[in-house]
Chain A
Amino acid sequence: MPERVTARPSFLRQVARIVAKDLRIEWRSREILATMTFLAVVVVLIFSFAFVVGDARPPAPVTSGILWIALVVSGTVGLGRTFDRERDGEAIRSLLLSPTSRGAIYLGKLIATIALMLVVEVVLTFLAGLLFSNKVAEQLAPVATLLVLGTIGFAAVGCVFSAALLRSRSRDVLLSTLLYPIIVPIVIAGARGTAQLIDPISPDLDGARFWTQFLVAVDVIFVTIGLWAFEPVVTGE
């Protein structure tokens, strides 16, 4: 070990450094958050013009679908930009050449991406409650749980594909093309569970509980695969 190096930071400390680095950069520019929030709000507003007529509100499955479509669209933009920052000036190479664990880099990027998406989802949920259904506010805790779990699964897969496409010129197009088929189970589970929770007549809590458990299982699988797959995809091996 070189003289200067006293002790390698623990795995959790490495993860914390990567998260802090990403959030510090975003705090300074607010570029990703602004873009994601803008896109999410635009999607919700466009659907509101189509589905809200007078006092009539769209049915629960439609409200839920709008919420999850906005989440996926804004999240995809966020993923792309987060990894663009690693590509600019080949910063990712310095990270990979440091003794930092690849798993720590993956988890750090994952947590930072989730944090940004959750901020947008706060705005999104508020807007959906305001425009479409007051049941969103009534069922806030279980709806938030579904959103958090869906976000974890989405970002877990998204970080792997974004890393794989770091050096691809068509990465913006390819990311959506590759990512969306894989996240179909997450979107279905999230949208179905949310719709059951915000049903204006009789919320189906048991049904929503099933989808919540389903998302937990999917998250465990996707994060595990992500930890395993990150190194070969990011180094191109």
Chain B
Amino acid sequence: MTTPVAPGALVLTRVGKTYAGRRALVDVSTTFAPGQVSAVLGPNGAGKTTLLAILSTLVPPTTGDVRWGDVTLGRASDARARIGYVGHDPGLYGDLTARENLTLFAELYGIARPAARAEVMLARVGLADVAADAAARTFSRGMLQRLALARALLHEPALLLFDEPSAALDPAGADWLQAELGAERDAGRVVVLVTHDLDAAAAVAEHVVVLRRGRVAHDETRPGGFGAEALRALYAERTRA
């Protein structure tokens, strides 16, 4: 008997990726459901970033496919219009102001009244006052990450991808980001979080996928979430050499 797939879920079937003969991902099958945070964990080189690159349509899988509703994710820009991405690098132009950065991307996404939308997002991430007209390169790491999140949420994406978003953030910034992740989960989006921070993953994730050497070493959903201790034990067991 197969488990029914929630509408809007992202279904990966035997996804593989090979770079110049090196297999970065091998037969990865899992489902990322809407309304929950899925944490993708694993040691360096496990294939986490490759997986995010495939989910974001930046690179196509070598084998298998990623289905999202009726769509097979590939390089189609239609799907990209429904995806938001926050990485450890902000993905912004340092010489443009916060407002200009958001307006630029709002225009590229085809958002109605891009300047007004930029204002709304600046207010949401707490950059509307003093920082809106400052060049992004003058921002602290925490402010840049707020602006990066505003850019990723401009078009209200149904799928949100986070790649080590709290790397180099101070504790207050990390707490803020964690609250935002929870808010996006509650808004019914598919949220995929790639991180090395097991405490951060345990705080928000109900679904955990552990990758090891490009393969799924563990895939489990716990509706009540994973405790930090349990997740550490699980991670240690599944990634042991």
Q: Which of the 9-residue segments B7-15, B155-163, B176-184, B223-231 touches chain A?
A: B155-163
- Among candidates B59, B75, B100, B154, residue contacting A4 with C-beta atoms closer than 8 Å: B154
Q: A17-B104, A97-B56 are in contact. Are A5 and B90 (CB under 8 A)?
A: no
Docked-complex contact B112 and A99, CB < 8 angstroms? no
B107 to chain A: closest residue by CB: A17
B112 to chain A: closest residue by CB: A6
- Among candidates B78, B95, B136, B151, residue contacting A28 with C-beta atoms closer than 8 Å: B95
A16 to chain B: closest residue by CB: B107
Compute how far the CA of A90 lies from the CA of B87 in the bound complex, rounded to whole angstroms.
9
Report chain A residues within 8 Å CB of B155.
2, 4-5
Q: Which of the 9-residue segments A7-15, A115-123, A172-180, A196-204 touches chain B?
A: A7-15
Nearest Cβ on chain A to B93's Cβ, whole angstroms:
5
Docked-complex contact B117 and A4, CB < 8 angstroms? yes
Docked-complex contact A99 and B81, CB < 8 angstroms? yes
Report chain B residues within 8 Å CB of A9.
107-108, 110
- From residue 69 to 128 of chain A, which have CB atoms closer than 8 A to chain B? 85, 88-91, 93-101
Nearest Cβ on chain B to A58's Cβ, whole angstroms:
40
The answer to whether B125 has its CB under 8 Å from any CB of chain A is no
Compute how far the CA of A4 lies from the CA of B153 in the bound complex, rounded to whole angstroms.
10
Nearest Cβ on chain A to B37's Cβ, whole angstroms:
20
Docked-complex contact A98 and B109, CB < 8 angstroms? yes
The answer to whether A1 has its CB under 8 Å from any CB of chain B is yes
The answer to whether B213 has its CB under 8 Å from any CB of chain A is no
Docked-complex contact B94 and A5, CB < 8 angstroms? no
The answer to whether A3 has its CB under 8 Å from any CB of chain B is yes
Nearest Cβ on chain B to A89's Cβ, whole angstroms:
5
The answer to whether A57 has its CB under 8 Å from any CB of chain B is no
Compute how far the CA of A29 lies from the CA of B91 in the bound complex, rounded to whole angstroms.
20
Q: A4-B117, A93-B85 are in contact. Are A99 and B108 (CB under 8 A)?
A: yes
Compute how far the CA of A159 lies from the CA of B107 in the bound complex, rounded to whole angstroms.
23
Q: A4-B156, A21-B104, A94-B105 are in contact. Are A100 and B77 (CB under 8 A)?
A: yes
- Among candidates A88, A91, A97, residue contacting B80 with C-beta atoms closer than 8 Å: A97
Report chain B residues within 8 Å CB of A3.
156
Compute how far the CA of A90 lies from the CA of B117 in the bound complex, rounded to whole angstroms.
23
Q: Show the binding face of A for B, using Cβ within 8 Å.
A: 1-9, 14, 17, 21, 24-25, 28-29, 85, 88-91, 93-101, 231, 235-237
- 27 A-B contacts, Cβ less than 8 Å apart? A1-B82, A2-B157, A4-B109, A5-B155, A7-B110, A9-B107, A17-B104, A17-B107, A17-B108, A21-B93, A25-B95, A85-B95, A89-B91, A89-B93, A90-B90, A93-B89, A97-B56, A97-B58, A97-B83, A97-B85, A99-B78, A99-B80, A99-B110, A235-B58, A236-B59, A237-B59, A237-B60
